[in-house]
Amino acid sequence: MFRLGLIINPVAGMGGPLGLKGTDGEEILELVLKKGALPQAPSRAAHVLKALSQEKDKICLLTCPGPMGADTASQCSMPFETIPLEINQKTLPEDTRRAAKMLQESSVDLLLFVGGDGTARDIGAAVGERQLCLGVPAGVKMHSSVFALSPHHAAEIALGLIKGRRPQPRLAEIMDIDEEAFRADQLRARLFGYLPVPGSQRGLQVLKAGSSASEKAKQQAIAAFFVEEMDPNRFYLIGPGTTTRAILQALGQIGTLLGVDALQDGKIMGKDINENDCLAFLDQAGFEQATIVVTPIGGQGFILGRGNQQLSAEVVRRVSKKQILVVATPDKLQLLRGSPFRLDTGDPELDRQLCGIYRVLTGYRESAYYRAEL
Amino acid sequence: MRAKTKIRDFHQARWNEPIIFDLSTPGERGILLPEIEPEVEASAGGALDELPGDLKRSNPPGLPEMAQMRVLKHYLRLSQENLGADLNVDIGQGTCTMKYSPKINEQFAASPQLSGLHPAQNEDTVQGTLEIMYQLEQFLKAISGMDRFSLQPGGGSHAILAIVSMIRAWVDDRGLSDTKDEIITTIFSHPSNCAVARTKGFKVINIYPDPKTGRPDLEAFKEAVSERTAALLITNPEDTGIYNENIKEFTDLVHAHGGLCSYDQANANGIMGITRAANAKFDFCFFNIHKTFSSPHGCGGPGCGGVGVKEHLIPYLPVPLTSFDEANNRYYLDYDVPKTIGKIKDYYGVIPAIIRAYAWIRSLGAEGLLEAARVAVLNNNYILNRIRAMKGAEAPYAEGEHRIEQVRYSFQPLKEETGCGFDEVQRRICDFMCHLWSSHEPFVVPEPFTIEPTESYSREEIDEYLAALEKIIEEAYTNPDVLKTAPHNSSIHHIAEHEYLDDPKLWAVTWRMYNNRFEGYFEPKKEQQ
């Protein structure tokens, strides 16, 4: 039996129709409820469960009580067990976290969660990188790449797993924005972590490529090329991400997944450094002797300003465009579906200047030249 | 759609035919050979006596044992269970140029006069074959503007290997091995260009398409070209069917940096007689002789990748070339190629593909080749306009423009709106005696499919195919389960998902491996440990 965990964040997405840029925080939720907003997530969850019910004999569905799962599951002719979780009358983020933890401890093969970026953050905080997850999009904000494209896709991916497919998991970004700033029309996204998701999240296309190399092996190939080309006299600011982390691992260094590390001659000179540290390192090394290494956000293509705010406009302004090196596996580039890289340093003039062509390391002795646009 | 276009009420044969090994009966024979007469054996010895002992098997091979009639039925049944090129509308096999190969050309290739030749025969006894090879080379030179051709490579990727081997030899010859170490290609050029370049020790740079025009991003290309550029390997038009009219700007830039340019013309079906590689200043080009010229691509037997070069690269061509000795009025295999990359194929290359191509070109003439290209382009753009009007399908890039011989389409809207994407349509279209190929990388285009009608298909057949597509799309919106459970009228029902392709642990490329790993046809015996 395939052990499937399901968490529905019943309030996810409710702020959207009211023009609110999220439904996070008790105050906003009160406002949403007062204005009579209707839940969005249960119908999306039902869509997935109905699609999965064709294989219900193979599924052991574990879900949360009431609006966080059981209410919807009971309407979908899908047998299920409810985990012994006490939830608040108005569900809160800690309910999601406790549910995720409990389902992980119940050894679910896949944890499906229905919500938005806020929900993804709660799931990530609870289960870290040790639980295969998949987001069913239902939130107002959908910046994370842990979500399937639609409930259709989520059901399809889950069905594949239920039928025995075992694609290599890949770590997908959990992104969220600063909601207070967002409601003031300032968009600032942060990288909050990673969740393992089924490898071929966009359907079967990676399979058709006949590639047997895992995403990890491809990242290692990029790292090997980087190390081969590395100039020991140069100073590198290595941005967050699993591809950039592979570079540090290839050098035997332990970097930070979510932070920026400074590297010279194969050694980490500064770990998890902030904007000021970056500026200090650049001053010390000489601007021309520095290279910034970044990887795009999966499916969205932001190379600056989302998830790597330490590499601020002030930092980026001190180097030339040619000193920004992008690393990305071919799969990651292809997931952009032809869209260019995006820029969001917070300085529109700088973003404009940074538009153009970037060199991208894509494999061992393989690279691409790829366009960035606003 | 014409009023008379009807969707065929089709059902494929279903024989539930076992694998031939399962049909084996110990002792059953197709032919019983008479015992050798004692006096013959005494005089000539046993048939295997002269074979060295260590070459003899200790046990007979485990081949199936069957009588002739059962063998015949077995393979006829299997043949009825596939959608061969002579049965179905094959325009969904885009990039493969599934044109009709006139049966007389097949007869030439299979004729006893040809099949009875031994490849090691004295050249003087195969003058006719050598003449055909020589003449085909002259045709290809006229079509491409190149100065010499080798017909040795056994297919398109083999031709690319020959070309990059020549580039490697050319670079090494000039003492530039350390400085010219990069090859540039485009992401929509055939992946063998990238793979072969890596195999021959070059670093590879891929150029992605301009997001709007779909053409290789010229600005990115300018960034990529440098003194390190050994060569450009590029297709035009790429699999999108979009012609890059700036191609000469690409070749000029590479030449200005001292590099070479190779034109992948594996599929030249839309440009024969219209453009020439030499006019765009390419140093190399190759044709899939087995694809553009008569033979359909794939499973039609071994292919032939004809490699053409300009004068300055003739010394590097693989040997032998086919030359003509005017003084003695004879054709001969020419090994006098001073810097040759050597021999890359046994004997003459793949003669049947050469014969078919020769016959096809001779039957059409120069005007006929041009007409074939024009009709292929016309057919393609008719289909493009019809598919653009279909809900759920789209043709990414170059909006509103015509395409050349094929188009890489996308079912992404259909997938998002109905949950049915390419896979479902592919399975369902079998129910209408048609075929739709999944298309290959790069998967920059999601839910991709590629249609290439060539010049062979009639308006009626194209309409039939499009009517089937329209019907399936309508079903996707109104009754998606029909697609999800398809095929319904095929010899085999919905088979396993693609995970078997993805996991090497599940691969079974020989019967023995299959037996060791699986039972039944498609069900895993057990999880591999």
Amino acid found at A208: K
DSSP letter assigned to residue A53: G
Residue B229 confidence (pLDDT) above 90 = yes
Residues 6+ apart with CB under 8 A from B321: B148, B150, B333, B334, B337
Q: Each residue of B498-514: pLDDT tens digit?
A: 556 666 777 777 777 77
Q: Is A164 on the interface with B (CB under 8 A)?
A: yes
Question: Is-cis flag, bond preceding B504, omega within 30?
Answer: no
When CB atoms are compared, the residue of B208, B423, B445 closest to A370 is B208
Query: For chain B, how far is it from start to end, CA to CA, in angstroms?
Result: 54
Cβ contact, residue pair A368, B206, below 8 Å: yes
Q: Which region, left, alpha or beta, applies to residue B224 given φ > 0 means left and ψ of -120 to 50 means alpha?
A: alpha
Distance of CA A194 to the CA centre of its chain: 6
Residue B522 confidence (pLDDT) above 60 = no
CA distance A230 to A327: 13
Question: What value does the mean pLDDT take over residues A97-111?
Answer: 95
Interface of B with A in 499-528 (CB under 8 A): 499, 501-504, 524
Cβ contact, residue pair B209, A338, below 8 Å: yes
Cβ contact, residue pair A212, B198, below 8 Å: no
Do residues A179 and A245 share a domain?
A: no
Binning pLDDT at 50, 70 and 90, where does residue A210 land?
very low
| Top-confidence range, A98-112, A213-227, A256-270, B291-305 | A98-112
Amino acid found at B218: L
Nearest chain A Cα distance for residue B210, angstroms: 8
With CA atoms as reference, report the closest residue to A366 among B199, B100, B129, B211: B199
Residue A200 confidence (pLDDT) above 70 = no
Do residues A56 and A184 share a domain?
A: yes
pLDDT score, position A204? 31
Do residues A166 and A240 share a domain?
A: no
Question: What value does the mean pLDDT take over residues A36-51?
Answer: 86
Reading the block at residue A340, the tokens are 């260019």
> Environment class of residue B284 by beta-carbon count within 10 Å: exposed (0-12), middle (13-18) or buried (19+)?
buried
For chain B, give every residue range classified as CATH 3.90.1150: 1-23+68-97+405-495
Cβ contact, residue pair B443, A160, below 8 Å: no
Q: Which region, left, alpha or beta, applies to residue B347 given φ > 0 means left and ψ of -120 to 50 means alpha?
A: left
Q: Each residue of B139-180: pLDDT tens digit?
A: 999 999 999 999 999 999 999 999 999 999 999 999 999 999
pLDDT score, position A22? 61
Q: Is A296 on the interface with B (CB under 8 A)?
A: no
Buried b (16+ CB within 10 A) or exposed e, B116-127: eeeeeeeeeebe
SS3 A303: strand
Half-sphere exposure for B455 (CA within 13 Å, toward CB):
21
Q: Each residue of B78-118: pLDDT tens digit?
A: 999 888 888 889 899 888 888 998 999 999 999 999 999 99
Q: Is A53 on the interface with B (CB under 8 A)?
A: no
Do residues A251 and A202 share a domain?
A: no
Cβ contact, residue pair B206, A362, below 8 Å: yes
Q: Each residue of B357-387: pLDDT tens digit?
A: 999 999 999 999 999 999 999 999 999 999 9
With CA atoms as reference, report the closest residue to B239 among B86, B398, B463: B398
User: Could you give phi then psi for residue B372, rounded to 5 degrees?
Assistant: -60, -45
CA distance A133 to B308: 53
Strand partners, A147: A135
In this prediction the ipTM stands at: 0.87
CA distance A172 to A133: 10
Residue A228 confidence (pLDDT) above 90 = yes
- H or E segment to which residue A327 belongs: strand A324-327
Distance of CA A365 to the CA centre of its chain: 27
For chain B, give every residue range classified as CATH 3.40.640.10: 109-362
Q: Which domain holds residue A327?
A: 215-373
pLDDT score, position A286? 83
SS3 A83: coil
| Top-confidence range, A162-166, A303-307, B335-339 | B335-339
- H or E segment to which residue B279 belongs: none
Nearest chain B Cα distance for residue A147, angstroms: 14
Do residues A177 and A223 share a domain?
A: no
Q: Which of A148, A183, A208 is the last residue of a domain?
A: A208
The structure tokens 């646009």 sit at: A373
Closest residue on chain B to A229 (Cα): B203
Contact residues on chain A for B396, CB-CB shorter than 8 A: 338
Do residues A176 and A229 share a domain?
A: no
CB contact at 8 A, B20 and B64: yes
Q: How many CB pairs under 8 A join A and B?
A: 119
Choose, out of B184, B186, B208, the residue to mutate when testing the contact with A (most A CBs < 10 Å): B208
Nearest chain B Cα distance for residue A88, angstroms: 35
SS3 B55: helix
pLDDT score, position A206? 33
When CB atoms are compared, the residue of B206, B210, B443 closest to A205 is B443
Contact residues on chain A for B204, CB-CB shorter than 8 A: 365-367
Choose, out of B184, B206, B483, B494, the residue to mutate when testing the contact with A (most A CBs < 10 Å): B206
Residues 6+ apart with CB under 8 A from A327: A222, A226, A243, A244, A247, A293, A294, A295, A360, A361, A362
State the fold for domain B109-362.
Aspartate Aminotransferase; domain 2 (3.40.640)
pLDDT score, position B499? 56
Q: Is B443 on the interface with A (CB under 8 A)?
A: yes
Q: How far is CA B386 from CA B423, B469, B470, in A?
A: 21, 10, 10
Q: How many CB atoms lie within 10 A of CB A300?
A: 21
When CB atoms are compared, the residue of B217, B418, B524 closest to A371 is B217
Nearest chain A Cα distance for residue B349, angstroms: 29
pLDDT score, position A188? 62
How high is the mean pLDDT of chain A? 85
Do residues A200 and A233 share a domain?
A: no
CA distance B128 to B196: 35
SS3 A159: helix
> Environment class of residue A136 by beta-carbon count within 10 Å: exposed (0-12), middle (13-18) or buried (19+)?
buried
User: Could you give phi then psi for residue A2, rounded to 5 degrees?
Assistant: -90, 120
Choose, out of A325, A365, A373, A374, the residue to mutate when testing the contact with B (most B CBs < 10 Å): A365
Q: Is A2 on the interface with B (CB under 8 A)?
A: no
Cβ contact, residue pair B504, A156, below 8 Å: no
Cβ contact, residue pair A337, B444, below 8 Å: yes
Strand partners, B518: B524
Strand partners, A292: A237, A324
Contact residues on chain A for B501, CB-CB shorter than 8 A: 207-208, 210
pLDDT score, position A23? 65
Helix axes B459-478, B422-429, angle to 10 degrees: 120
Reading the block at residue A308, the tokens are 């790597």
pLDDT score, position A359? 97
State the Rg of chain A over Cα. 21
How high is the mean pLDDT of chain B? 91
Choose, out of B183, B418, B484, B499, the residue to mutate when testing the contact with A (most A CBs < 10 Å): B499
CA distance B133 to B411: 44
Q: How many domains does chain A have?
A: 2
Residue B227 confidence (pLDDT) above 80 = yes
pLDDT score, position B409? 95
pLDDT score, position B509? 79
Reading the block at residue B478, the tokens are 């109104």
Q: Each residue of B446-462: pLDDT tens digit?
A: 899 999 999 999 999 99
**Do the bridges between strand B229-235 and strand B182-186 make them parallel or antiparallel, or are there none, so unpaired?**
parallel
Contact residues on chain A for B416, CB-CB shorter than 8 A: 149-150, 152
The CATH number for A141's domain is: 3.40.50
Question: What value does the mean pLDDT take over residues B342-347?
Answer: 93
Whole-number percent of chain A with pLDDT over 90: 49
Q: Which of A159, A183, A208 is the last residue of a domain?
A: A208
- H or E segment to which residue A371 belongs: strand A366-373
Do residues A187 and A97 share a domain?
A: yes
pLDDT score, position B306? 96
CA distance A40 to A15: 10
CB contact at 8 A, B390 and B469: yes
Tell whether the torsion through CA atoms of A80, A81, A85 and A88 is positive or negative: positive
Q: Is B176 on the interface with A (CB under 8 A)?
A: no
Cβ contact, residue pair B397, A338, below 8 Å: yes
Q: Is B194 on the interface with A (CB under 8 A)?
A: yes
CB contact at 8 A, B213 and B241: no
CB contact at 8 A, A308 and A315: no
Residues 6+ apart with CB under 8 A from A23: A11, A12, A13, A14, A15, A16, A29, A32, A116, A118, A139, A140
Strand partners, A324: A292
State the fold for domain B1-23+68-97+405-495.
Aspartate Aminotransferase, domain 1 (3.90.1150)
Cβ contact, residue pair B504, A212, below 8 Å: yes
Q: Each residue of B278-328: pLDDT tens digit?
A: 999 999 999 999 889 987 775 555 789 999 999 999 999 999 999 999 999
CA distance B13 to B401: 42
Q: Is A156 on the interface with B (CB under 8 A)?
A: yes
**Do the bridges between strand A341-343 and strand A302-304 make them parallel or antiparallel, or are there none, so unpaired?**
parallel
When CB atoms are compared, the residue of B187, B202, B499 closest to A165 is B499
Q: Where are the beta strands (DSSP E) in A260-343?
A: 260-264, 267-273, 290-294, 302-304, 324-327, 341-343
